[in-house]
């Protein structure tokens, strides 16, 4: 088994059977997590990069079957931040030591190309030493180009699953896997640090799908990979499905660290939601990024992607001192840095 881990870390192609064993085989996971941690330390030391997550809108035109802010959810609370509110979040975040701001939201028709362009260029004008990450879903290539010209540095767009047939079970017919992946390639070609990613334990996901995810990551070579457990939301068609497992999520994070040693890997909010120490476990399994919530406190509960999403305590930007402490206890340190991919 350690041979297999070493071969993966050495860049070898693995067979389906070898992947299957690494993902679900009966072996001591701690060995895998230790190796992932060793590789992470080799490339990034013990630094943990923080990103201030600003959830700019809970309106969404899409209807992803797993997501609490899908357009068909008539009970979802909807809000949208103004540019002034977003800049106020950045001001607070800058003071706290954040040097990356992530603007994430549903696919909101209010966010015209020009509106986003202005917000990005205003943030970059005020905080030239900060990186701006966008995560606003699928847009025409021209929009991505304009926002890149305005100063956006990174873009997060999880591929969600690298199996077309699985993608079709998670989304309505109007959303296509082909278009999702095309957007990712466009982002990378334009020059963004591009982030892909997937949920672990989403309905209908099996071994084939997880192996496809790993092969997709190897081919796409993203700068960032967001991996978190699927968590059901009570107002979605997937309300009755069980959440993804923590061990399997940590396994996929660790395998991704070995596959892409230079990648920026967040210990995701979803991981922190399914277990009180999920975030620390994520860091110890190869993750090197955390994304505390910098949205205004009064809207945080409304960006409800899944049930019981944590947004207080160490998940909140104001809880940074406590987060710094628990990250230090895990053996790492939060740094004031843009934290670009190597
Ligand atoms: N609209 C943008 C997009 O599509 O990339 C960004 C917002 S979207 C809500 C952010 C991510 O939330 C998705 O990529 C998805 O993986 C995750 N997400 C949504 N519902 C989830 C759930 N029930 N459990 C875990 N993660 C979920």
Bridge partners for 334 per DSSP: 48
Q: Predicted confidence band at 56 (pLDDT cuts at 50, 70, 90)?
A: very high
Q: Is residue 17 part of a domain?
A: no
Q: Which atom of ligand 1 is nearest to the CA of 107?
A: 1
Q: Is residue 341 part of a domain?
A: no
Please report the pLDDT score of residue 218 as a whole number: 98
Cα gap 93→96, rounded to integer Å: 5
Please report the pLDDT score of residue 43 as a whole number: 97
Please report the pLDDT score of residue 17 as a whole number: 97
Give ligand 1 pocket residues (Cβ under 6 A).
66-67, 104, 106-107, 135, 137, 157-158, 160, 199, 228, 230-231, 233, 270, 305-306
- Count Cβ atoms within 10 A of the Cβ of residue 219 and give its class: 0-12 exposed, 13-18 middle, 19 or more buried: exposed
- Cα(67) to centroid(ligand 1), Å: 6
Helix (H, G, I), strand (E, B), or coil: what is residue 261?
coil
Q: Are 281 and 331 in contact (CB under 8 A)?
A: no
Q: Averaged over 56-82, what is the pLDDT? A: 98
Residue-averaged pLDDT of the chain: 97
For 126-258, list the strands marked E by DSSP.
131-135, 154-156, 193-200, 224-229
For residue 312, pLDDT beyond 80: no
For residue 273, pLDDT beyond 80: yes
pLDDT in tens, 283-294: 999 999 999 999
Q: Is residue 110 part of a domain?
A: yes
Q: Closest by alpha carbon to 218, among 173, 259, 263? A: 259
Q: Is residue 11 part of a domain?
A: no
pLDDT in tens, 100-150: 999 999 999 999 999 999 999 999 999 999 999 999 999 999 999 999 999
Instruction: Report the nearest-CA residue for atom 13 of ligand 1.
Output: 158
For residue 315, pLDDT beyond 90: no
DSSP codes of every residue in 120-139: HHHHHHH-TTSEEEEE----
Q: Are 260 and 300 in contact (CB under 8 A)?
A: no
Locus of tokens 């922190």: 272
Q: Is residue 148 part of a domain?
A: yes
- CATH at 331: 3.20.20.70
Neighbours of 13 (CB within 10 A): 9
Q: How are strands ordered across the β-sheet holding 100-105?
A: 52-57, 100-105, 131-135, 154-156, 193-200, 224-229
Q: Is residue 205 part of a domain?
A: yes
Bridge partners for 199 per DSSP: 228
Q: Are 36 and 254 in contact (CB under 8 A)?
A: yes
Domain that holds residue 316: 27-335
For residue 313, pLDDT beyond 90: no
pLDDT in tens, 162-174: 999 999 999 999 9
Determine which of 47-56, 309-318, 333-342 has the lowest per-residue pLDDT on average.
309-318
**DSSP assignment, residue 46?**
T
pTM: predicted TM-score of the whole model, two decimal places: 0.97
Cα gap 282→226, rounded to integer Å: 11
Among 138, 158, 271, name the best residue to mutate to test ligand 1's pocket (greatest count of ligand atoms within 8 A of Cβ).
158
- Count Cβ atoms within 10 A of the Cβ of residue 321 and give its class: 0-12 exposed, 13-18 middle, 19 or more buried: exposed
pLDDT in tens, 230-259: 999 999 999 999 999 999 999 999 999 999
Q: Closest by alpha carbon to 56, among 7, 151, 123, 4? A: 123
pLDDT in tens, 174-202: 999 999 999 999 999 999 999 999 999 99
Q: Is residue 237 part of a domain?
A: yes
Q: Predicted confidence band at 88 (pLDDT cuts at 50, 70, 90)?
A: very high
Please report the pLDDT score of residue 318 as a whole number: 81
Q: Is residue 16 part of a domain?
A: no
Structure tokens at 329: 């206890």
Instruction: Report the nearest-CA residue for atom 3 of ligand 1.
Output: 137
Please report the pLDDT score of residue 11 as a whole number: 93
For residue 274, pLDDT beyond 90: yes
- Cα(14) to centroid(ligand 1), Å: 29
Please report the pLDDT score of residue 311 as a whole number: 82
Per the structure, how many domains does the chain have? 1
For residue 1, pLDDT beyond 90: no
Please report the pLDDT score of residue 310 as a whole number: 87
């Amino acid at each position: 088994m350690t041979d297999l881990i070493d071969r993966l870390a050495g860049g070898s192609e693995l067979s389906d059977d070898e992947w299957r064993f690494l993902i679900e085989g009966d072996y001591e996971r701690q060995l895998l997590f230790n190796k992932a941690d060793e590789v992470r330390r080799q490339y990034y030391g013990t630094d943990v990069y923080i990103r201030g997550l600003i959830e700019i809108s809970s309106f969404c035109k899409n209807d992803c079957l797993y997501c609490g802010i899908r357009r068909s959810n008539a009970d979802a609370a909807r809000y949208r931040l103004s540019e002034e509110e977003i800049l106020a979040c950045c001001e607070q975040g800058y003071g706290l030591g954040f040097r990356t701001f992530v603007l994430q939201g549903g696919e909101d028709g209010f966010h015209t190309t020009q509106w986003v362009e202005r917000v990005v260029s205003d943030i970059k004008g005020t905080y030239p030493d900060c990186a701006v990450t966008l995560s606003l879903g699928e847009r025409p290539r021209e929009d991505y180009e304009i926002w890149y010209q305005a100063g956006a540095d990174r873009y997060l767009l999880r591929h969600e699953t690298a199996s077309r047939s699985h993608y079709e079970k998670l989304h309505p017919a109007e959303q296509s896997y082909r278009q999702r992946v095309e957007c990712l390639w466009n982002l990378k070609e334009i020059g963004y640090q591009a982030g892909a990613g997937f949920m672990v334990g989403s309905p209908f996901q099996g071994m084939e799908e997880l192996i496809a995810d790993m092969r997709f990551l190897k081919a796409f070579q993203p700068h960032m990979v967001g991996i978190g457990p699927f968590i059901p939301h009570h107002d979605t068609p997937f309300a009755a499905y069980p959440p993804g497992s923590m061990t399997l999520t940590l396994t996929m994070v660790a395998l991704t660290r070995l596959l892409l040693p230079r990648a920026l890997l967040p210990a995701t909010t979803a991981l922190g939601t399914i277990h009180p120490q999920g975030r620390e476990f994520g860091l110890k399994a190869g993750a090197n990024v955390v994304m505390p919530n910098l949205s205004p406190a009064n809207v945080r509960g409304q960006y409800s992607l899944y049930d019981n999403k944590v947004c207080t305590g160490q998940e909140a930007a104001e809880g940074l001192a406590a987060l710094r402490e628990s990250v230090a206890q895990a053996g790492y340190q939060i740094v004031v840095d843009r934290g670009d991919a190597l």
